[in-house]
Amino acid sequence: MNIPKIVLFICVLCLFGLGWEKVYAQSSSLDDFVMPVVVDEKVPQTYIEKMLMRLEEFEKDLRLKEKYLIVEDHLAQLGQRYVDFQKMVGIEIHGSLQNQTALQIYQPNRANKIANQFYLSGAGVVSPSIKYFVSGRFKYDSVYANSDHYSDSVESDQKAELELRDTYVDYSTGDWDFRLGKQQVVWGEAVGLFYADVVNARDLREYILPDFEFIRIPEWGLSSEYTKNDFHSQLVVLPGVEFDKTGLATSNFAFPLPLPDSPTLLALQDPKEPKYGFDNSKIGARFSYLFNGLDLGAFYLRSWTSLPVMYRTINAGVYNFNPDYQRQNIFGMTFSKEINDYVCKGEAVYYPDAYFSVIDPTDLDGVKQSGYVDYLLGVDHTYFDRWDVNVQLTQRWIMDYDKTFWRQEELTNGFSIRLSRPWLNRKFTTEILAIANLSTPDFLYRPKVVYNAASNLQITLGADIFSGDSTGSFGYFRNQSRWYSEATYKF
């Protein structure tokens, strides 16, 4: 060991020693010993007592404060009265105002979103066993008004929208809970992906980019739940059946049709949606049990294909599509378990009689059936106290695979990784989510920075970058890669 290394070694020892001394010097010190003080005071119990107390305080303030202070106090009183009013009528109102602006990364660098959204919700208690929740949103995307890029039908579909969101009544009695109304039913464990989330239809007009809360379309129906100790069961009946919404032709995220690569003439009919009614309801049940930290769940859902089955005929070289929805059975299971600070989770979903489009022109209706399984294994861990990491491996196995299946492999592998970290006392959070389809291969990268500008104002800057083979579900939207900003004010 030469002299500089010895000096360095001694310096490190000294620093280590100083640090150690500091730790134990603080320990057992009584410098900051604060003797307890009783600060008890009479706490008003009833609403009238509270109001009288405020009136007394207000009268005192009137004598003491200058005029502008009185005005300020009036405003504070008004705010407090609003809170008191909410308490008195038993309704709690919250909402948000949000602007989302997105600019395409690749040529042409035009804006593909300038959306303003107003969301409002109210929650109340009718009695100890009955609660209600009402919510809705209005969204206006001016990019459709100021651009010739989109067809009239796309403009009509995506420019302005007023919709009722989750709106339901909850009734609770003993071990039973019932929810009647428009609702989201969430059965999955995965992060950033839909696997066991099979109940609600999805709004995919912006693909999977919006918050999952807004991708799921709430559906009308009844959910009944029974909970006993570590056992939980849920039965859902949703007669107000909804189907996935996808972008129309020329919209940013229009899905491709199952056609040959060469230019083809086609005719596309509107999909036939089954009517609302009990005969056409989605019906399902889920059971879960928590055993020694292992959270196991299993479910069955009698549903509909979320996207229409693309039946087609070919007449004189023209492809005629007659999309139609079909009944579909779905079986699934989920698990999660923490092992030494690693949270392991998994989902498997089996579709015994799924429909696949085929590219074979000799096939009469362009559709074949096969069972398939989608499954996922994931793990969550926090590194260095701050870095949250989630890694998920996915696979799809089509059991009766046929090479004519359109854009499908017998085995499709994928993975996702999500990293996030808060900075500066949670003033900023950085996050990146990457989802890869390894078989194609194609990718989606979603880096973002979230800035808490105020306690009720959040600003996000980020990017949604699609890349890879254009036959993949991500690579297909390569030209829709975008920078975006998002400002959300919550109240």
82 touching another protein, by CB under 8 A? no
Give the footprint of another protein on residues 88-107 (CB under 8 A): 94
Distance CA(285)–CA(306), nearest Å, equals 18
Report in angstroms how near the CB of residue 190 gets to another protein at its nearest.
9
47 touching another protein, by CB under 8 A? no
The DSSP code sequence of 253-283 is TBPPPS--SS--EEEEPPPBPPPSSGGG-EE
165 touching another protein, by CB under 8 A? no
Nearest Cα residue to 369 out of 324, 326, 410, 400: 400
Instruction: Please identify, using beta-carbon distances, which residue of 378 and 468 lies nearer to another protein.
Output: 378
Q: Are 170 and 131 in contact (CB under 8 A)?
A: yes
Task: Tell me the three state secondary structure of residue 84.
Answer: helix
**Is the sign of the CA dihedral 423, 463, 396, 306 positive or negative?**
positive
- First vs last C-alpha separation in the chain: 64
377 touching another protein, by CB under 8 A? no
189 touching another protein, by CB under 8 A? yes
Residue with tokens 């403009």: 155
Report in angstroms how near the CB of residue 331 gets to another protein at its nearest.
20
83 touching another protein, by CB under 8 A? no
Q: Are 224 and 238 in contact (CB under 8 A)?
A: no
- As to burial, measured by CB atoms within 10 angstroms (0-12 exposed, 13-18 middle, 19+ buried), residue 315 is exposed
Distance CA(302)–CA(328), nearest Å, equals 6
| Strands 231-240 and 216-217, bridge-based pairing | unpaired
167 touching another protein, by CB under 8 A? no
**Is the sign of the CA dihedral 206, 207, 213, 217 positive or negative?**
positive
43 touching another protein, by CB under 8 A? yes
Position among 86, 142, 329, 452 found at the interface with another protein (CB under 8 A): 452
For 253, other C-beta atoms within 10 Å of its C-beta total 18
Instruction: Please identify, using beta-carbon distances, which residue of 370 and 488 lies nearer to another protein.
Output: 488
Instruction: Please identify, using beta-carbon distances, which residue of 184 and 303 lies nearer to another protein.
Output: 184
424 touching another protein, by CB under 8 A? yes
Q: Which amino acid is at 299?
A: F
Instruction: Please identify, using beta-carbon distances, which residue of 91 and 160 lies nearer to another protein.
Output: 91
User: Is the preceding omega at residue 108 within 30 degrees of 0, hence cis?
Assistant: yes
Instruction: Please identify, using beta-carbon distances, which residue of 212 and 445 lies nearer to another protein.
Output: 212
Instruction: Please identify, using beta-carbon distances, which residue of 335 and 397 lies nearer to another protein.
Output: 335
420 touching another protein, by CB under 8 A? no
Distance CA(253)–CA(230), nearest Å, equals 43
191 touching another protein, by CB under 8 A? yes
466 CB-near residues (< 8 Å, 6+ apart) = 442, 443, 444, 474, 475, 476, 477, 478, 480, 481
**Local structure of residue 14 (DSSP, 8 states):** H
Residue with tokens 């009402």: 134
Instruction: Please identify, using beta-carbon distances, which residue of 327 and 386 lies nearer to another protein.
Output: 386
Structure tokens at 97: 């105002």
Give the footprint of another protein on residues 3-22 (CB under 8 A): 22
Size of the site for another protein (CB under 8 A): 67
Site string for another protein, 273-292 (x = CB under 8 A): ---------------x-x--
Report in angstroms how near the CB of residue 377 gets to another protein at its nearest.
14
Instruction: Please identify, using beta-carbon distances, which residue of 267 and 457 lies nearer to another protein.
Output: 457
Question: Edge to edge, what strands does the sheet with 318-324 contain?
Answer: 265-268, 318-324, 309-315
Position among 2, 28, 46, 362 found at the interface with another protein (CB under 8 A): 28
Give the footprint of another protein on residues 200-239 (CB under 8 A): 211-213, 216, 225, 227, 229, 232, 234
Q: Are 284 and 299 in contact (CB under 8 A)?
A: yes
Instruction: Please identify, using beta-carbon distances, which residue of 72 and 230 lies nearer to another protein.
Output: 230
Position among 1, 3, 23, 64 found at the interface with another protein (CB under 8 A): 23
Site string for another protein, 320-339 (x = CB under 8 A): ----------------x-x-
Q: Are 212 and 206 in contact (CB under 8 A)?
A: no
84 touching another protein, by CB under 8 A? no
Distance CA(366)–CA(362), nearest Å, equals 8
Instruction: Please identify, using beta-carbon distances, which residue of 326 and 452 lies nearer to another protein.
Output: 452
Position among 1, 2, 4, 36 found at the interface with another protein (CB under 8 A): 36
127 touching another protein, by CB under 8 A? no
- Residues in contact with another protein by CB under 8 A are 22-24, 26-28, 30, 32-41, 43, 94, 131, 170, 172, 175, 177, 184, 186, 188-189, 191, 197, 211-213, 216, 225, 227, 229, 232, 234, 288, 290, 293, 295, 336, 338, 341-343, 345, 380-382, 385-386, 388, 424-427, 452, 455-458, 488, 490-491
